[in-house]
Amino acid sequence: MKKYSFLLFDADNTLLDFDANERASLIDTFRTFGIAYDEDTISLYHGINLMYWKMLSEKKISKEELLIKRFATLYEKLGINADPVATENHYRSQLGKGCQVVPGALDVCRKLRKDYKLYVITNGVATTQHSRLEGSGVAELMEGIFISDEIGYDKPDVRFFEYVQRSIPGFEKSRALVIGDSLFSDIRGGVDFGLDTCYLNVYNEKNTSEIQPTYEIQDIVELLELL
């Protein structure tokens, strides 16, 4: 095992429990707009959202388009006449209030910060991510927070990681480790930039892609033993 100094954590579903936040925010939004929903509706939205985030990582769509298209597409498939812009605005405000944390994540960060410099590297809307990271207690454990919305590039774009490198004093690629739950943004981005990576494979999904992480764990708590 290499001796690392810089740990670069993804936020959603790595430190912050985005799935729980997403579900609560969706339910509130559907109720607010008087939209009937069930588990199939939530599952449909989830699939549409993932599709558009993957398109964003492949530079096939802009973030602004993603935020509106996900609800526009949902309404189209459900045959509902509703305003996707107003829906997104309300949903976004609810997401910003969601501070659910992945079990064990805060304890892991508290222990690791004694020996490592911790940073968050996340895609997403800046106001939402800052609100959640601060409200959850994650922000106070970090040396810095890097959000694609403020940088101008999304993971896995190499320019995102170039910005991170320039912004961290004494940063060395050989001493940095990326930790994240997404093969297509966190791990691919780290690999393309020449960084070691740790794939948080919570659902133990088979990796059939060409992307190969340096390490793989299923629970954030395993990071303590790994390091």
Active site amino acids: 10
Task: Give the count of beta carbons closer than 10 Å to the beta carbon of residue 59.
Answer: 10
SS3 32: helix
Q: Which of 126, 140, 95, 121 has its CA nearest to residue 10?
A: 121
Distance CA 52, CA 6 (A): 30
Read off the tokens for 155: 């993971």
* Cα separation values, 150 from 69, 100, 104, 164, 220, Å: 22, 23, 28, 12, 26
DSSP string, 185-217: IIIHHHHHTT-EEEEE-TT-----SS---SEEE
Residue with tokens 């959603």: 12
Q: Which of 171, 172, 179 has its CA nearest to residue 222?
A: 179
